[in-house]
Amino acid sequence: MIDVKKVRKDFPILKRKINGKPFVYLNNAATTQKPIQVIDAVADFYRNHNSSVDRGLSTISAEAIDMYDNARKKVAGFVNAEKENLVFTKNTTEAINLVAYSLAFSALGKGDEVVLSKMEHHSNLVPWQQLAKLRGFKVKFVGLKEHGELSLQEFEKTVSDKTKVVGIVHASNVLGTINPVREIIEIGHRHGALVLVDGAQSAPSIEVDIKRMGADFLAFSGHKMLGPTGIGALYARQELLEEMPPFLFGGGMISEVFLDKSSWRKPPAKFEAGTPNAAAAVGFAEAVKYLQKLGMKNVALHESKLTKYALDMLHSIRGIKIYGPDAQKRIGIIAFNVGRIHPHDIASVLDEHGIAIRAGDHCAQPLMRELGIIGTARASFYVYNSKEEVDALEGALVKAQKLLG
Ligand SMILES: Cc1ncc(COP(=O)(O)O)c(C=O)c1O
């Protein structure tokens, strides 16, 4: 089990007071806080090893290259992938754009279809929607069942031999729902489609093993799993990385350049144009090390227990509407509304009590429309959150309700 008291000591920011109250950070689905180990690893890179990770023949650049390479190995290992299959990106959004642009201009056109769910984050929706306009392919959506779950039968009906790509969020950033990705991947593959899994919320919270999952692409972000901002990852199958055209062009990714043509380095370098964020990659690897030390089974169990506790608490408050499935089917994310009070007002009152949550549409406007609402309040938990913090949330919510309701 996770020793929350011990874990909290690693996070300097949690010692802060906000509005004179102990800081309760419940906006982990947006971004997580950083342990001292990650902060130190980034600082150590800049203090002692900073160099561009080019092929400069200096000791310092060899060190930086080594650190960047080891970071790639560590982050790849976290999802049970080889380092050759892991492209560093800026974040999940860039990883998905990489896949969407590369495929749109090499494999998608009129008559082709891309299938997504209606619970996608804008990151896994807008790129496909915009590229569909440019390239003439069609985007189809699978709707939701009751309790914010997806229907496999709907996937069976929607995916056809015209489907070239299926894009699916592994865990919803609004409903918390853990989707049956293995079954969805199997449906996609049966029709010859490539399947991209958006792991932005799942990689931080549950064990993600790409070999067991079988997806063709997996995208995730460092900052949502204790790592720095500005670094994310795309896993892709080797043949795809070999075949797909680059998404961004420039230095670092080329083999030879002539005035009228160029050739590319082997993947993953082929997809990493420009000077990479090596310091953030080193920090990402340190975050992975931290999570592995805790054990992802323990991380998942901790989140699940805390989520169950919070759901029971929220259900006990009159007038609260909770979105999404039972605790055992979700990660540590709870979207809710308190009567007719605007979620922004809830967030503001909670902030006065030192509690940070998120309020709004959570970059999922089509999902909000599907639910018939403009937005929700959202509490999301991670390894340093405690039952006492859930109790603090309860106290502040009751006060907000009295004040605003
Ligand atoms: C499910 C999901 N996908 C994609 C993203 C985008 O992640 P990033 O902003 O790190 O690119 C998020 C961020 O909230 C998310 O929750």
**What is the 200 CA–ligand 1 centroid distance (Å)?**
5
Instruction: Give me the pLDDT at residue 355, please.
Output: 98
Catalytic residue (choose from 39, 296, 320, 363) = 363
Per-domain residue ranges of the chain? 4-26+295-404, 39-292
Query: Which residues in 156-236 belong to E strands, given as ranges?
Result: 163-169, 194-198, 217-221, 232-236
Determine the distance separating the centroid of ligand 1 and the alpha carbon of 403, expressed in angstroms.
33
Right CATH for 39-292 from 2.130.10.10, 3.20.20.30, 3.40.640.10, 3.40.50.2300: 3.40.640.10
User: What is the distance in A from the centroid of ligand 1 to the CA of 205?
Assistant: 14
Torsion (CA) 195, 196, 198, 199 in degrees, nearest 10:
80
Q: Which pLDDT tens digit goes with each residue over 160-204?
A: 999 999 999 999 999 999 999 999 999 999 999 999 999 999 999
The reply to whether 4-26+295-404 and 39-292 are identical in fold is no
Question: What is the pLDDT confidence band of residue 146, given thresholds at 50, 70 and 90?
Answer: confident
- Clarify whether 380 is annotated catalytic: no
Q: What is the DSSP letter of 327?
A: G
Instruction: State the SS3 of 195-207.
Output: EEEECCCCCCCCC
Name the percent of the chain lying above pLDDT 70. 100
> From residue 57, how far is each of 118, 150, 251, 276 by CA, in Å?
50, 53, 17, 18
The answer, as to whether pTM is greater than 0.85, is yes
Instruction: Tell me which fold the domain 4-26+295-404 belongs to.
Output: Aspartate Aminotransferase, domain 1 (3.90.1150)
Q: Which atom of ligand 1 is nearest the CA belonging to 123?
A: 4
For ligand 1, say whether the CB of 201 is within 6 Å of any of its atoms: yes
Q: Which of 48-62, 83-97, 146-160, 164-178 is the least confident region?
A: 48-62
Tell me the average pLDDT across 147-160. Answer: 95
Q: Are 364 and 119 in contact (CB under 8 A)?
A: yes
- The yes-or-no verdict on residue 134 having pLDDT over 90 is yes
